[in-house]
Structure formats: C-alpha cells, structure tokens
Amino acid sequence: MKSDATDIRNQPAYGLTEAARYLRLPAATLRTWLVGRAYPRGGEQATFHPLITPANRQPLLLSFYNLIEAHVLRALRTEHGVALNELRKAISYAEKRLNLHRLLLSSELRAHAGEIFLDRYVELINLSASGQLAMRKMFEDHLRRVEWDEWKFPIRLYPYVDATHRDLKRPIAIDPHIAFGRPIVQRAGVSTAAITERIDAGETIEDLANDYDLSPDEIEQAVLYSRAA
C-alpha cells in the first residue's frame, strides 16, 4: 500500500496533545509510539524505536493517517499493553510477507493481513487463549471505526466518545476534508468544538438540536466527546 505525500491525509495537522485527546490515549504513550524513548536495561540505556513515522518531527505533528495508525495500535494497548519490540517485529513480518507499506493503514487488516499480523504478535508475546480472543475482539472493534475508500485508503475515523465506554453508535467523526480535520457530529458536519462553545455560552441542548437538525442525544455526545479526559 503506497500513500501520496501530497495527499491532505498525509499532511501535518495535529499536535501531540490534541491527537492524544481525540484518540483517548495518554500523550506519553502516543509520544513513545511516534519518537520512541530510552529505558534502563541491565544497567545500560536501551531504546524503544518508534512504531509510527510522524508527518513532521520538529515540531512534532501528526497527519490524519498517523491518527489511524495510532487508533489501530490503541486496540492492542487498551486492554493488553503493547509489547513494543514484539509489536514492531510483528508489523515488519506482516509487511514483508504481504508486500504492504504501512500495514496499520491497510484495509487488509480486516482480513488476511490482520490475521497474519495478530498471529505473529500473539506468538511473540505468548498470549493465553482467552487473551487472544479478547485482543482480536478489541482489534475488530477498532477497525470497524475506520472507513476506507475504494482504493483501500482510510478516509474517516469514528473515535470513541470516551476512553472507557465503547458504544456501537458512531456519532462523532474525524474527516480530513471537513472542519480542517477536527471532530464533527457526522450527521450534520458541525464541529464538536462549535457545539461545546455554544453550550458554554448559555444556549440549550434543545436550541442547538433544532439549529443543526440533530437529536438532543447527538448534541450531548458532542459535548461529552469534547470534554471527556
């Protein structure tokens, strides 16, 4: 899978803290995936090398594609913790075997590529059978929140509204072609930030629901997403 460097989805657009908030990830975790980090090993300093190549290193900025890559990795971190060295080996193994570039962006993760990748990863970390089932379910849930185009490139992300509750509904979307890639209520295309600002200014949920032709629940979900830590 090749991606065009001039594509808006590949352009630097999100700061580290902003991206971590959108993805419901600790900023320190996301930073490690992007730039790596040093850690002690046997009295010496070792290094975790990055898993994701950021769109811009100085200053550190992510692209929409980077958001997708981090979202996919989040499926493994959320419940199981990511073994970075083993994960890197599993990604490299699947990319070489399938001749894929940037595996974490590939729609093939929903099929054969995902099986090869996960099979190799669980083999490397020696995960129990029950742990494998839980990981695969989490992985599938995360992939269902990515929309790909006919050329099998990601075009939209439906992030979780908060860090713990994984509702099947997908009221919020991140689309690089709408609202400068900031989160929107997908049915109306209005940014969650605009809705939150109007609520903070004293307008009611009912007023905003009428203005945007949305349900009160969609307005509440927009506010929850904007304010969830």
CA angle 157, 65, 121 (to 5 degrees): 90
Quote the pTM value.
0.91
Q: How far is CA 89 from the centre of its chain?
A: 20
* Cis amide bond preceding 59, omega within 30: yes
Domain 158-229 sits in CATH at: 1.10.10
pLDDT at 76: 85
Phi–psi pair at 2, nearest 5 degrees: -110, 145
For 57-71, how does the pLDDT look when each residue is reduced to its tens digit (9 = 90+)? Answer: 999 999 999 999 999
Bridge partners of 174, per DSSP, are 157
For 15-71, how does the pLDDT look when each residue is reduced to its tens digit (9 = 90+)? Answer: 999 999 999 999 999 999 999 888 777 778 878 889 999 999 999 999 999 999 999
Cα–Cα dist 41/108, whole Å: 36
For 157-195, how does the pLDDT look when each residue is reduced to its tens digit (9 = 90+)? Answer: 999 998 666 667 899 999 999 999 999 999 999 999 999
Question: In the chain, where are the structural domains located?
Answer: 158-229
For 81-140, how does the pLDDT look when each residue is reduced to its tens digit (9 = 90+)? Answer: 567 888 899 999 999 999 999 999 999 999 999 999 999 998 998 888 998 898 899 999
Phi-psi region of 177 (alpha: psi -120 to 50; beta: other; left: phi over 0): alpha
Whether pLDDT at 210 is above 80? yes
Nearest to 174 by CA among 92, 86, 67: 67
15 with 23: CB under 8 angstroms?
Answer: no
Determine the residue type at 156. Answer: R
Cα–Cα dist 50/78, whole Å: 18
Angle at which helix 27-35 crosses helix 64-80, to 10 degrees, equals 120
